[in-house]
Structure 1
Amino acid sequence: MKITAALSGRGGDAPQLVELEQEAPRAGEMRIRLVATGICHTDLHEHPGRHSPQPIVLGHEGAGVVEELGEGVSGFAVGDHVILSGSSCGNCPSCLAGRPTYCDLAMPLCFGGKRLDGSTALCEGDASIHSHFFGQSSFATHAIVPQRTAVKMAKDLPLEMLGPLGCGVVTGAGGVIEALKVGFGDTIAVLGTGGVGLSAVMAARLVGAKRIVAVDLSDERLELAREFGATDCFRGDQDDLADAIRTVTGRGVNFTFNTTNTPAVHTLALEVLAMNGTAGFVAAPRGEWAPQMFGMLAGGRQLRGILGGDANPRTFLPQLAEYWRQGDLPFDRMLKFYPFSQIETAWADAASGAAIKPVLLMENHDDA
């Protein structure tokens, strides 16, 4: 069938809208009619060509309606509302332990731009177009997805705003709740208050953290962080920032959660830890960087990488939606909606920071 998709790999600052041919779902796959898709910084980084082959349809925060089932699909029916998350094999030790973001095949399944057999779901004339980005390629009106990529959601939830739960929100909230296991009375510093960082702030408040420090270069975002539960806010360019954060508790914080790729911030994340503290990070430092190993050793401190919030999407995404329903996770306040036809504007706003979490609305979003 013919679909409209945003294609990367043809030049330009943003993906270009084109008409493509999409094949029917194969065994174990479903066709999803997209209602909305969030734009994530991973999409921005992949657009010029980084890990994935091109030309490719990106997008990995999709939400939509099941339209067609491939052979052998179970647990889903046509008309189900779903969030799309990352792809995983379902058979490796990580998947069997409920940690699919650490699947042994995560890189080829999420960034390979094709199925494991080398085929793609899209073409333009006789030319194959890479698909299956994070198991979805959701910058499109329709997506072919493995059933493990989809998470069924209650139909009374607003489907058009749920897509970011599948990456940005779960990375921040899951990082605090599932990975770091921040608990009642703990202290945490969140470094960078974009969509991931603000989700971490909301989660820290939800679990009862005593002091929640937010650091950013934007006064507007720091104010939003305060509204979401931050107890102490600092600009990232202020003098003696490490001392200021440590002074909040008198001994440093139990946890840091770093959403940036700035080497100096990675250093800061370790400097402000209390004894036995843990520094979680969701983005690798850009360029050369090395931790101060003696300080980590002497203080029993840990440095911990986190992907996808360490969460199992099947169980954790409905949990996040329920937190929202109860008023404890107001992630909808971070969203800014754009028609799919205005992807260039949404893309520029994501890159500049004018929008915390842009969400593309498909023309059929009112039919969900």
Structure 2
Amino acid sequence: MQTRAAVVEAQGQPFTLSDVELEEPRADEVLVRMVATGLCHTDLTMGSFLPPEMFPNVFGHEGAGVVERVGADVAGLEAGDHVVLSFRSCRDCAKCRAGLVGYCDSHLLLNYMGMRLDGSQPISRDGEPLFGSFFGQSSLAAHALAYADNCVKVDPALDLTLLAPYGCGFQTGAGTVLTVLRPRPDECLVVYGAGAVGLAAVAAARAEGVECVVAVDPLAGRRAVAERLGATVVDPAEAADVVARVKELTGGGAAYGIDTTAIPAVIKQAQQSLGIRGTLVALGLGAEEFALDAIDLLQAGKTVKASIEGDADPQEMVPRLLAMRAEGRFPLDDLVATYPAEAINDAVADVGAGTVVKPVLVW
């Protein structure tokens, strides 16, 4: 079938809306008409990070839409279902069976290689295949082929334009708090970078009753949102010593830290601002390596670790967060700024400038 997709033609190039051909769903695939797609930092990073031979490429991994057709082997989904798309997992390896679906043995192949496991690509243009199975969806398109394992069925009464970020950004930030760190109400959490992921972490921590939540971000608009969500905010440009200021606010150092920036200097500050035996989770994608303060790490028994998608299972985490949203405990709707699909590069520019937190494209 013919549809439209936002194609990155070559490494480091902007998106170009293009007519493409999408194959009919195979036995294990689900054809989804996209209503909205969140634009995530990973989509932008991969456009510059992947090698030249992996282009042209169709990214997108925060899709939300309506099922149009399902393959013969697909169970639990049918035409007309409203779904949020998330990352893929095989659901059969030892890690998946243990509930660690983000660490699936086939995670890289299923999510980043832009093709099916058999090497075929579901999207083509003028007879030439495009890389087009990013996170098993490539949902920066008017239609996408997905799978039962990465389709989360949602209430059709809900606005899909507001649900798209739950497939990755909101899930990652909130999941890191709810699944990885699990702070007690009397412990302190510091979030570095108050974008969509960081603000989701702030909201989740406050929803769990954590009283001491600090957000560090240079952008006034994002600090204002973090403050509204219940965080104490720090402007790193105004703080003479960010580490000292955070330690002051957290009574000598935070129990937990989350970095979403992938900026090496910020990650080091985040580690140093932890208290004794504190834990930092690095979530940002971008820097290939970063330096830690070894003396501080060893003498204080600190932990620095990473997490894929907040160690969450989207089939469990997305419904959990939507239930919290319905209860008024996860109030992130106003983070979403919608754009027509044709304005995708405007959305990229605006999120880069910090004028919006979470751009969502409407098809």
What is the TM-score of this pair, normalised by structure 1?
0.95
Alignment pair present for 1:347 and 2:348? yes
Tell whether the 8 Å contact from 2:123 to 2:129 is kept in structure 1 after alignment: yes
Q: How far has the Cα of 1:94 moved from its partner?
A: 1.7
Tell whether the 8 Å contact from 1:257 to 1:279 is kept in structure 2 after alignment: yes
Tell whether the 8 Å contact from 1:187 to 1:253 is kept in structure 2 after alignment: yes
Tell whether the 8 Å contact from 1:263 to 1:286 is kept in structure 2 after alignment: yes
Q: Which amino acid aligns with 2:207?
A: L
Q: Distance in 1 between matches of 2:140 and 2:263?
A: 28
Q: Describe the shift of the 1:257–1:62 C-alpha distance in structure 2 as closer, same or farther (beyond 3 A).
A: same
Residues 57-76 of structure 1: matches in 2 within 5 Å? 57-76=58-77
Tell whether the 8 Å contact from 1:34 to 1:65 is kept in structure 2 after alignment: yes
Question: Who is 2:321 aligned against?
Answer: 320
Q: How far has the Cα of 1:294 moved from its partner?
A: 3.1
Question: Who is 2:301 aligned against?
Answer: 300
Q: Describe the shift of the 1:74–1:257 C-alpha distance in structure 2 as closer, same or farther (beyond 3 A).
A: same
Q: Describe the shift of the 1:276–1:48 C-alpha distance in structure 2 as closer, same or farther (beyond 3 A).
A: closer
Q: Distance in 2 between matches of 1:75 and 1:285?
A: 36
Q: How far has the Cα of 1:286 moved from its partner?
A: 2.4
In structure 1, runs of 5+ residues without a counterpart are 363-368
Question: Who is 1:20 aligned against?
Answer: 20
Q: Distance in 1 between matches of 2:203 and 2:233?
A: 14
Post-superposition Cα deviations, 1:204-256, rounded to whole Å, max 9, x if no partner, equal 101111211110101221111000110x2111222111111111232211100
Question: Who is 1:217 aligned against?
Answer: 218
Question: Who is 2:183 aligned against?
Answer: 182
Alignment pair present for 1:259 and 2:260? yes
Partner of 2:287: helix, strand, or coil? coil
Q: How far has the Cα of 1:261 moved from its partner?
A: 1.2
Q: Which moved further from structure 2: 101-110 or 11-20?
A: 11-20
Tell whether the 8 Å contact from 2:11 to 2:47 is kept in structure 1 after alignment: no
Partner of 2:32: helix, strand, or coil? strand
Tell whether the 8 Å contact from 2:2 to 2:21 is kept in structure 1 after alignment: yes
Q: Distance in 1 between matches of 2:267 and 2:286?
A: 7
Residues 248-287 of structure 1: matches in 2 within 5 Å? 248-283=249-284, 286=287
Q: How far has the Cα of 1:47 moved from its partner?
A: 2.0
Q: Distance in 1 between matches of 2:191 and 2:49?
A: 29
Q: Which amino acid aligns with 2:24?
A: A
Q: Which moved further from structure 2: 245-254 or 50-59?
A: 50-59
Question: Who is 1:41 aligned against?
Answer: 41
Q: Describe the shift of the 1:133–1:187 C-alpha distance in structure 2 as closer, same or farther (beyond 3 A).
A: same
Q: Which moved further from structure 2: 4-13 or 193-202?
A: 4-13
Partner of 2:54: helix, strand, or coil? coil
Q: Which amino acid aligns with 1:62?
A: G
Question: Who is 1:365 aligned against?
Answer: none
Q: Distance in 2 between matches of 1:351 and 1:284?
A: 15
Q: How far has the Cα of 1:61 moved from its partner?
A: 0.4
Q: How far has the Cα of 1:360 moved from its partner?
A: 0.4
Q: How far has the Cα of 1:27 moved from its partner?
A: 1.6
Q: Distance in 2 between matches of 1:168 and 1:195?
A: 6
Question: Who is 1:366 aligned against?
Answer: none
Tell whether the 8 Å contact from 2:12 to 2:47 is kept in structure 1 after alignment: no
Question: Who is 2:208 aligned against?
Answer: 207
Question: Who is 2:29 aligned against?
Answer: 29
Tell whether the 8 Å contact from 1:266 to 1:285 is kept in structure 2 after alignment: no
Tell whether the 8 Å contact from 2:221 to 2:355 is kept in structure 1 after alignment: no
Q: Distance in 2 between matches of 1:281 and 1:11?
A: 26
Q: How far has the Cα of 1:266 moved from its partner?
A: 0.9
Q: Distance in 2 between matches of 1:142 and 1:287?
A: 33
Question: Who is 2:4 aligned against?
Answer: 4
Partner of 2:284: helix, strand, or coil? coil
Q: Which amino acid aligns with 2:247?
A: R
Q: Which amino acid aligns with 2:22?
A: Q
Q: Distance in 2 between matches of 1:220 and 1:305?
A: 27
Q: Which amino acid aligns with 2:29?
A: E
Q: How far has the Cα of 1:287 moved from its partner?
A: 5.5
Matched residue count: 361
Residues 234-249 of structure 1: matches in 2 within 5 Å? 234-237=234-237, 238-249=239-250
Tell whether the 8 Å contact from 2:33 to 2:68 is kept in structure 1 after alignment: yes
Question: Who is 1:80 aligned against?
Answer: 81
Post-superposition Cα deviations, 1:11-45, rounded to whole Å, max 9, x if no partner, equal 78521111111111112110000000000011111
Partner of 1:107: helix, strand, or coil? helix
What is the TM-score of this pair, normalised by structure 2?
0.96
Q: Which amino acid aligns with 1:41?
A: H
Q: Describe the shift of the 1:12–1:273 C-alpha distance in structure 2 as closer, same or farther (beyond 3 A).
A: closer
Q: Distance in 2 between matches of 1:235 and 1:351?
A: 18
Partner of 2:48: helix, strand, or coil? coil
Q: Distance in 2 between matches of 1:196 and 1:74?
A: 31
